[in-house]
Amino acid sequence: MAGENPIIYVKEKIETSKEKIKIKSKKTDDVTLLYPRNIQRLDDINVVPFYQSIKPFFIPGHKVTLSLEKIDSIDGQGLALLVQLTQLAKKQKCYFALTQVPSTIARILKITEIDKLLTILPNQPQITNKKSSSSANGQKNPDDSFLDIEFMQ
């Protein structure tokens, strides 16, 4: 054993965040727009509390749209979370989409081909108090008469 370098294995304990993720939501009929508030990363530390915070919004027959506007980094666990949310939506028979995905996150989703598993909307709708709906080209959509959507460029 003289002269041998012993190999030391260090097992790190990864602790999940103790803080609950705050989710701001805007709900209109069957559409729920979700805006995570106190989170900038989707990683191994906060995916469990994030999942626990967002899961109650997946109601059968409803539409859930998640804004990633405040997210600036994502790791493998965060990517797995997005896939898991897609599977949860299918199980609950509800619609799930991402919106306001930052270009850095969009690139990661494309490289990993996870973008093919997710619905990614090109921009974020903003709800106003009007009774009618207008699309990006200004035409009225009678099916969306419950809210007015203005798309940001």
When pLDDT is averaged across residues 79-93 and rounded to a whole number, the result is: 95
CATH classification of the domain holding 39: 3.30.750.24
* 73-74 and 41-42 beta bridge pairing: parallel
- pLDDT for res 85: 96
- pLDDT for res 3: 55
Of how many residues is the chain composed?
153
For residues 76 and 39, state if they share a domain: yes
Total domains in the chain come to 2
> Rounded distance, CA 18 to CA 49, Å?
8
Percent of the chain topping pLDDT 90: 56
> Rounded distance, CA 98 to CA 34, Å?
9
**8 domain residue, yes or no:** no
**One-letter identity of residue 49:** P
For residues 28 and 60, state if they share a domain: yes
**β strands within the chain, DSSP E:** 23-28, 31-36, 41-42, 63-67, 73-74, 95-99, 125-128, 148-151
Count the neighbouring beta carbons within 10 Å of the beta carbon of residue 140.
11
For residues 110 and 144, state if they share a domain: no
What are the residues whose beta carbons fall under 8 Å from the beta carbon of 72, sequence distance 6 or more?
A: 40, 41, 102, 104, 105
For residues 89 and 69, state if they share a domain: yes
**33 domain residue, yes or no:** yes
CB 125 within 8 A of CB 33: yes
What are the residues whose beta carbons fall under 8 Å from the beta carbon of 25, sequence distance 6 or more?
A: 32, 33, 34, 35, 57
**Tens digits of per-residue pLDDT, 111-135?**
999 999 999 998 645 544 444 444 4
**18 domain residue, yes or no:** no
**Tens digits of per-residue pLDDT, 3-29?**
554 554 444 444 444 567 888 999 877
Owning domain of residue 103 = 23-122
